[in-house]
Amino acid sequence: MKNIAIIGAGMAGLSLAYNLQEHNITIFDKSWRPGGRVSTRKHDNYLFDHGAHYLSTNHSVNQLNEIISRYNLGQVIEIDFAIDYLKNKKTRKKIIIGKNGMNSIPKSIFDNIKVKSYFNSKIIKISKNNNGIFSLFSEKEEFKNFDYVLICIPYPQSKELSKEFINFTKMVNDPSYEPIHTVMLSYKNINNINIKAGLNLHKDISFFMNQNIKFNELSDDCWVLNMSSEYTNNNIDVDKAALEKYAQSIFEKTFDIKNEISFIKSHRWLYAQTKVSYNSISKKNWISSKDDKIFLSGDWILGKSLSDAWDAGEKLSHYVKILSV
Ligand SMILES: Cc1cc2nc3c(=O)[nH]c(=O)nc-3n(C[C@H](O)[C@H](O)[C@H](O)COP(=O)(O)OP(=O)(O)OC[C@H]3O[C@@H](n4cnc5c(N)ncnc54)[C@H](O)[C@@H]3O)c2cc1C
């Protein structure tokens, strides 16, 4: 049994923890909860999946499907979906959503695996002693005695954290991300909008989704809007109130809404979705240190979805199992 530290309790970190349970696992996350970008926000009576919106029904990560069905974490719903709202292209689409919001998927997976965990613990430094054993440091504490360190956080951050141990100079291109501003808004009265989700609402809004189809308990009409990556890139430090007003005005103009909003808030995801994956550059499924003791994983290894994050963690777990016998 090895002592393994996993940094990041998003889908990739959880996949590793799930698959390496025969070892002594400690998982660290800077946030107060597991799930990372699979995030459900609650404000008084409003609920919003403002990170990952749904899991595609045709992803090919069998283990994730099997876990979702074993623990009864998801449900398939069929909705009217605009493939391209501006071009008026619509379809009926089946999607998988969390039973109690998207974050209930990683949360329940975390609750079902017995690992030591430290939340609100941002790891800022890794060191190695003369015996090849690692220590991790948060701002307040040192955590000692790890044989392996598996880093499952967005690429730019993992590169910074592991640069003493991994030689990045040979990489021709770096994997990259697109940022997204999301806007959560709701109305006291239900608006008469028959399309529940879709792409390309406006040149600056790449995705929109109604939340009432996910959360039966909602009485207000709740929506999440994703600003396009181009808009977000060009307005990365935009004043939040100005962004919210802009998104609201586009939404209301598009659907001819006259009702008053009851709530509005925005969030900036700097590393929202993978633009160029590591696998597409290198054909490899993880990055490792020279001594094969520190590894980097995450959605950015394989693609842009939460199933890619799970798949990346699962693939790395097979290799760590072989190394650690
Ligand atoms: C707005 C938005 C919409 C999306 N829509 C979809 C969708 O509809 N369908 C889909 O499949 N995917 C979607 N995605 C992508 C999906 O959410 C991600 O691919 C997936 O959740 C990534 O998982 P991960 O484990 O690789 O990374 P993350 O979820 O980012 O997990 C990394 C974790 O590491 C923690 N962390 C970071 N730095 C440190 C540190 N130094 N110390 C300790 N902890 C640290 C973070 O708090 C986080 O919990 C969306 C993402 C966003 C942002």
Range of the domain at 259: 3-323
Ligand 1, residues 37, 295, 311, 315: which to mutate, most atoms within 8 A of Cβ? 37
Atom of ligand 1 nearest to the CA of 12: 25
Mean pLDDT (whole number) for 123-140: 96
Ligand 1, residues 306, 316, 317: which to mutate, most atoms within 8 A of Cβ? 306
Percentage of residues in the chain having pLDDT higher than 70: 100
What pLDDT shows up at residue 169? 87
Pairwise CA distance, residues 293 & 300, whole Å: 20
Paired residues of 149 in beta bridges? 5, 294
The count of structural domains within the chain is 1
Ligand 1, residues 6, 16, 125, 153: which to mutate, most atoms within 8 A of Cβ? 153
What is each CA distance from 55 to 103, 311, 319, in whole angstroms? 12, 13, 26
Mean pLDDT (whole number) for 168-179: 90
Ligand 1, atom 11: nearest CA belongs to which residue? 305
Atom of ligand 1 nearest to the CA of 59: 11
Alpha helices in 210-269 (DSSP H): 229-234, 240-255
Pairwise CA distance, residues 204 & 274, whole Å: 19
Mean pLDDT (whole number) for 29-39: 97
Ligand 1, atom 7: nearest CA belongs to which residue? 52
Is the CB of residue 244 less than 8 Å from the CB of residue 223?
A: no
pLDDT at 166 over 80: yes
C-alpha radius of gyration, the chain, whole number: 21
Give the distance (Å) from ligand 1 centre to CA of residue 181: 14
Which protein residues are within 6 Å of ligand 1, measured from CB? 7-13, 28-31, 36-38, 51-55, 122-123, 152-154, 157, 180, 182, 226, 269, 272-273, 298-299, 304-307, 309
Tens digits of residue pLDDT in 93-107: 999 999 999 999 999
Residues contacting 5, CB < 8 A, separation 6+: 26, 27, 28, 134, 136, 143, 146, 148, 149, 150
Pairwise CA distance, residues 312 & 301, whole Å: 6
Give the distance (Å) from ligand 1 centre to CA of residue 38: 6
Mean pLDDT (whole number) for 21-41: 97
Which CATH number covers residue 81?
Answer: 3.50.50.60
Mean pLDDT (whole number) for 20-47: 95
Give the distance (Å) from ligand 1 centre to CA of residue 178: 12
- At 173, the pLDDT band (50, 70, 90 cuts) reads confident
Give the distance (Å) from ligand 1 centre to CA of residue 229: 16
- At 237, the pLDDT band (50, 70, 90 cuts) reads very high
- At 171, the pLDDT band (50, 70, 90 cuts) reads confident
Atom of ligand 1 nearest to the CA of 11: 25
Give the distance (Å) from ligand 1 centre to CA of residue 89: 29
Tens digits of residue pLDDT in 248-275: 999 999 999 999 999 999 999 999 999 9
Tens digits of residue pLDDT in 69-127: 999 999 999 999 999 999 999 999 999 999 999 999 999 999 999 899 999 999 999 99
- At 44, the pLDDT band (50, 70, 90 cuts) reads confident
